[in-house]
């Protein structure tokens, strides 16, 4: 008797189960470790923000075997996951993925690190799960063809990969458990309001916290043998939470042998500005004006900023705090020009930026929409006080696959953010311990380095 053909979800789960760190291409291993270090750096820096300090004091994490990057003691697993995940969005420096809008490695890192710490699992299992989860997440993101305009991408397609990764780690790559975790996460679908960010609502930082918590719950249920409807991803989640779900895209990049034939993790990227991904092209364009033309605040008469539809939808002309400022074209451009470079401190004093922001207009240029999601285009036209008009256009910002960040750029980002939290002398040991995971060094070495 012929066996029934595998469903898309089963094919994804089997490819994930077959993902083994030692067998992965070197480029994939390098990218995974680079993304891991990047995530640790912006989580650490974000944990020092006043919002996260207040949250940690309310949560009162119990002692345990896991690392919350804002705390030198070991804490309980769920609290470590929640606090680390919440810190990912504070500075808006988290990773991106070029084939769909989202931040998979920022969420995979706190989830898998805490499970590996609690269960004292070897690094190769954690890293295998990391890549397997990223591959599933990316393919679900592609199949979703975006999300409805009122939904935030957090709590959406990446959740399926997160749940799969956690189940992979909990069960040592059991395909049945991985597939159940995917279906469970699909049935437990989350729906987050997209507009909290532009409004400066800091409850936005609970989005990734809820995301990883939901994924962990789905994975634990799957590992415990809880049953699921086998079509929850393709019947419910995809059509309800995607903009134009195409189930046939779920299995693209899976070969005839049931393994990944290409790797979506290589389409991840590093954000080099502390702003929403949608503004990275604008921020790059301003960087060029500053570096190539020597522009200062005194030179500016007016600035016209053209953006694509999604950037326009979240833009705010009058941000009320540093979170909203990171989603404001005016604020990020003003901070870059006023201080010579866009960095986190420059977004804290919005009153100082207001006079320059008042000389700006932001508009939607429909011609830019065709470049998304791979591009995050922006055009900046600056008229100087002497009447000179300067224009810079960036379609594919630095850090994205079409304009890759150099190792020096993303390593400098990681070192700078880690140094903010730990001090320069501790940066080297942390990065060495994180990258040592790829060589089989124990997770405990990274935990010790992070706690100091």
Inter-residue contact 106 to 95 (CB < 8 Å): yes
Are residue 54 and residue 102 in the same domain, yes or no?
A: yes
pLDDT averages per 10-residue partition of the chain, 452 residues:
86 98 98 98 97 97 96 96 98 95 96 98 98 98 94 94 98 98 97 92 97 98 97 97 97 98 97 96 98 98 97 94 97 98 97 98 98 95 98 96 95 98 97 98 98 87
Let me know if residue 402 belongs to a domain: no
- Four-residue CA torsion sign, 248, 249, 254, 256: positive
Are residue 427 and residue 441 in the same domain, yes or no?
A: yes
Are residue 168 and residue 285 in the same domain, yes or no?
A: no
Amino acid 1: pLDDT: 56
What would the pLDDT profile of 170-207 be if each residue is shown by its tens digit? Answer: 999 999 999 999 999 999 999 999 999 889 999 999 99
Instruction: Give me the CATH number covering residue 298.
Output: 3.30.1330.120
Inter-residue contact 409 to 417 (CB < 8 Å): no
Are residue 386 and residue 427 in the same domain, yes or no?
A: no
Are residue 130 and residue 196 in the same domain, yes or no?
A: yes
What are the tokens at 427?
A: 């940066």
Residues forming a β-bridge with 380 = 305, 392
Let me know if residue 135 belongs to a domain: yes
Cα–Cα distance list, 278 to 114, 396, 413 (Å): 30, 11, 19
What would the pLDDT profile of 199-217 be if each residue is shown by its tens digit? Answer: 999 999 999 999 999 999 9
Are residue 258 and residue 383 in the same domain, yes or no?
A: no
Are residue 171 and residue 204 in the same domain, yes or no?
A: yes
Let me know if residue 62 belongs to a domain: yes
Instruction: Give me the CATH number covering residue 66.
Output: 1.10.4100.10
Q: Provide the residue range defining the domain that includes 66.
A: 8-272+408-451
Are residue 56 and residue 133 in the same domain, yes or no?
A: yes
Are residue 281 and residue 414 in the same domain, yes or no?
A: no
Give Cα 205 to chain centroid, integer Å: 13
Let me know if residue 30 belongs to a domain: yes
Inter-residue contact 183 to 228 (CB < 8 Å): yes
Amino acid 3: pLDDT: 78
DSSP H helical ranges for 120-157: 123-144
Let me know if residue 361 belongs to a domain: yes
Are residue 111 and residue 221 in the same domain, yes or no?
A: yes
Using CA atoms, how far apart are residues 151 and 199, in angstroms rounded to an integer?
15
Are residue 138 and residue 234 in the same domain, yes or no?
A: yes
DSSP element (H, E) containing 304: strand 300-307
Let me know if residue 403 belongs to a domain: no
Amino acid 450: pLDDT: 98
Let me know if residue 195 belongs to a domain: yes
Report how many domains make up the chain. Answer: 2
Are residue 259 and residue 293 in the same domain, yes or no?
A: no
Let me know if residue 34 belongs to a domain: yes
Using CA atoms, how far apart are residues 301 and 356, in angstroms rounded to an integer?
9
DSSP-derived letter for residue 65 is: E
Inter-residue contact 417 to 37 (CB < 8 Å): no
């Amino acid at each position: 008797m012929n066996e029934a053909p595998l469903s898309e979800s089963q094919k994804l789960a089997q490819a994930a189960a077959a993902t083994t760190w030692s067998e992965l291409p070197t480029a994939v291993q390098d990218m995974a470790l680079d993304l891991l270090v990047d995530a640790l750096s912006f989580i650490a820096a974000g944990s020092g923000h006043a919002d996260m300090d207040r949250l940690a004091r309310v949560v009162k994490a119990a002692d345990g075997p896991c690392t919350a990057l804002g705390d030198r003691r070991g804490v309980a697993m769920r609290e470590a996951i929640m606090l680390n995940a919440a810190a990912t969005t504070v500075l808006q420096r988290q990773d991106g993925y070029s084939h769909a809008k989202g931040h998979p490695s920022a969420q995979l890192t706190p989830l898998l690190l805490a499970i590996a710490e609690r269960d004292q699992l070897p690094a190769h299992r954690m890293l295998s799960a990391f890549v397997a989860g990223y591959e599933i997440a990316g393919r679900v993101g592609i199949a979703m063809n975006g999300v409805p305009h009122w939904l935030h991408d957090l709590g959406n397609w990446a959740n399926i990969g997160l749940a799969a990764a956690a189940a992979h780690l909990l069960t040592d790559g059991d395909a049945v458990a991985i597939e159940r975790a995917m279906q469970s996460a699909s049935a437990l679908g989350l729906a987050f309001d997209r507009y909290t960010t532009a409004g400066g609502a800091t409850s936005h930082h609970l989005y990734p916290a809820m995301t990883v918590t939901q994924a962990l719950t789905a994975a634990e249920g799957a590992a415990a043998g809880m049953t699921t409807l086998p079509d929850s991803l393709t019947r419910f989640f995809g059509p309800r939470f995607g903009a134009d779900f195409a189930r046939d895209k779920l299995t693209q990049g899976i070969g005839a042998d049931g393994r990944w034939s290409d790797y979506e993790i290589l389409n991840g990227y590093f954000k080099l500005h502390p702003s929403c991904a949608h503004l990275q092209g604008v921020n790059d364009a301003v960087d060029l004006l500053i570096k190539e033309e020597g522009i200062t605040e005194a030179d500016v008469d007016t600035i016209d900023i053209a953006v694509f539809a999604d950037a326009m939808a979240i833009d705010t002309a009058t941000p009320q705090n540093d979170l909203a400022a990171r989603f404001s074209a005016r604020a990020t451009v003003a901070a870059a020009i006023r201080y010579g470079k866009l960095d986190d401190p420059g977004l804290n004093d919005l009153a100082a930026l207001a006079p320059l922001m008042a000389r700006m207009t932001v508009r939607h240029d429909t011609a830019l929409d065709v470049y998304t999601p791979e591009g995050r285009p922006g055009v900046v036209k600056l008229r100087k006080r002497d009447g000179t008009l300067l224009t810079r256009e960036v379609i594919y910002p630095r850090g994205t696959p079409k304009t890759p960040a150099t190792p020096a750029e993303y390593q400098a980002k990681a070192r700078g953010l880690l140094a903010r939290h730990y001090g320069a002398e501790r940066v080297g040991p942390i990065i060495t311990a994180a990258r040592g995971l790829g060589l089989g060094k124990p997770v405990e070495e990274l935990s010790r380095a992070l706690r100091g």
